[in-house]
Structure 1
């Protein structure tokens, strides 16, 4: 039996977007509504945090620049930096590309880099009760960086885009919608040269399964791991969409998972600590947990910019 170990009693309002940095042997993640970037170092368990200027939803490391991140905030994509030796404080923030939302009250949500180092991220209306299908998915790579604008991928109606992940060869993209009215995961063919998804098809209908689909990761076998929000589970699906196993965590709302550890064999899971609920049966809500599921993950791709921060040219 695989048991969940609490690694950080972080008490995040919405812990999301965990990213393992092998060079530091450290896990980074965001607390969305508080706009906090957290870091936990495995060798000397300690937590450091930095403050972003807006809500911080998703992030990926900036290639070749330790302490720098591409991130989705409220009104666009940003370059955030804290410096590798920094021990807290405010993040430096430079907006890379604005986003014109369909409605007020929207922000970025889930996002990550494809295997080629382009950043893809979705947006949502924060008022989930409104059930407005105004969510979009944007791409930001070297071309978009040169133009200072995101590309809208026009993937159809979405309420809460989530669960983004890529197959080991990068040729399949996964995307979910977490809204209670949808609860589906789709697969797309993904053109690795252009960064364009196509041929949207149902991968998993999660309506009959426990938990709403939230954040996800892919392991080295090509299986898709996704948090079952509200059910306290993390599900593993095979590449043909078959439910392979479900692992429990001691909180109701696991939010996103990521592989880490020295051998990429630890599945880290962030979680949510909602306001105004009885926490007597889940006092660890908002914490970060570690599972050892017996499989390995894949290194998380970093964002490959048009040019290095110190002037060295890079190609995407």
Structure 2
């Protein structure tokens, strides 16, 4: 069963620079800067591309960084290897300069879960519509297929929850419906390939009534990072298939779009009208094409929603 294949123009984002990421993830559009941020997990970097100037900036962190969100002050909440961190990203002394060495970030740990296994880190994360930060963990050795990952909630008071969803192998795919009452979550491991939907209590931040939203064993690829558009449809990167899949709120696949990279990792809406879909990707170690690891931009004909900011101080 497949949805309609459409072919909007997909272009490599020139402002992202000529060098591919090893694992490009967590794209976040900052309207105040007209800039796209994302991370390169193993490179321990946060990257920014300012679209109007074409300037690229990098910040190097002391450990792997997997997901980021901003608060209203422009500070960053990041899910990393050993926990959640507050980051203040320094700026270059010469704002017009491009390139050069990565800049420094002020790093302060906020919270850390009790990891049940060695070799774990955070993975996919973002804020709900009320500004709570959600992020999940995983065992980095995916070949081991250890279901030791869990999903956590970090609220504006600085409290990290106990595991809200556990027994995850490779947590991914977080997203919320436009009204915030449905939460989406996926497990992208080849043994799982499932997307779940939950009823979401916007007051308490509690997800309930977990059910399968889409089983990607019936489609191409594995469900990686996601975005929700203004129509309430759920866009998922189909890793290993070079596709973006859009599911309606009823779980029906109604569109698929091919992208040049085999392993699209996460997507985010941005641009002045929030009508551009940015897609990060992974560069595999064996036989990568010239497109893998780059950032792409396309206009799918629908608009997205502003990325929620973390409601607390950092």
Q: Do both share a fold (TM > 0.5)? A: yes
Q: Distance in 2 between matches of 1:17 and 1:179?
A: 18
CA displacement 1:246-273 (0-9 Å, x = unmatched): 1111110000000000000000000001
Q: Distance in 2 between matches of 1:184 and 1:300?
A: 24
Where in structure 1 do 4 or more consecutive aligned residues deviate above 3 Å? 83-88
Corresponding residue number in structure 2 for 1:100: 114
Residue 123 (structure 2) pairs with residue 123 (structure 1): no
Corresponding residue number in structure 1 for 2:98: none
Q: Distance in 1 between matches of 2:296 and 2:268?
A: 11
Residue 84 (structure 2) pairs with residue 70 (structure 1): no
Q: Distance in 2 between matches of 1:10 and 1:194?
A: 43
Does the CA-based 8 Å contact 1:230-1:254 persist in structure 2? yes
Corresponding residue number in structure 2 for 1:284: 291
Match of 2:12 among 3, 6, 10: 6
Residue 309 (structure 2) pairs with residue 295 (structure 1): no
CA displacement 1:180-229 (0-9 Å, x = unmatched): 00000000011111111111000000012111000000000000000000
Q: Distance in 1 between matches of 2:116 and 2:212?
A: 26
Does the CA-based 8 Å contact 1:10-1:288 persist in structure 2? no
User: Cα distance, 1:108 vs. partner?
Assistant: 0.1
Give 5+ residue unaligned stretches, structure 1.
Answer: 310-316
User: Cα distance, 1:134 vs. partner?
Assistant: 0.6
Q: Distance in 1 between matches of 2:234 and 2:36?
A: 20
Alignment of 1:1-316 (within 5 A): 1-7=7-13, 8=16, 9-63=18-72, 65-66=73-74, 68-83=75-90, 88-143=102-157, 145=158, 149-275=159-285, 277-279=286-288, 282-305=289-312, 308=313
Q: Distance in 2 between matches of 1:299 and 1:153?
A: 27
Q: Distance in 1 between matches of 2:237 and 2:249?
A: 17
User: Cα distance, 1:100 vs. partner?
Assistant: 1.3
User: Cα distance, 1:84 vs. partner?
Assistant: 5.6
Q: Distance in 1 between matches of 2:165 and 2:86?
A: 25
Secondary structure, counterpart of 1:152 in structure 2: coil
Give 5+ residue unaligned stretches, structure 2.
Answer: 1-6, 96-101
Q: Distance in 2 between matches of 1:260 and 1:3?
A: 16
User: Cα distance, 1:152 vs. partner?
Assistant: 2.3
Does the CA-based 8 Å contact 2:90-2:104 persist in structure 1? no
What is the TM-score when the length of structure 2 is the normalising length? 0.92
Does the CA-based 8 Å contact 1:161-1:176 persist in structure 2? yes
CA displacement 1:45-80 (0-9 Å, x = unmatched): 1211001111000000122x12x1001001110001
CA RMSD across the alignment: 1.3
Secondary structure, counterpart of 1:129 in structure 2: helix
CA displacement 1:280-310 (0-9 Å, x = unmatched): xx202110000100000000001010xx46x
What is the TM-score when the length of structure 1 is the normalising length? 0.92
Secondary structure, counterpart of 1:207 in structure 2: helix
Query: Number of matched residues?
Result: 298
User: Cα distance, 1:85 vs. partner?
Assistant: 6.0
Q: Distance in 1 between matches of 2:140 and 2:223?
A: 17
Classify 1:85/1:297 alpha carbon distance in 2 versus 1 (closer, same or farther; 3 Å): farther
Does the CA-based 8 Å contact 1:75-1:100 persist in structure 2? no
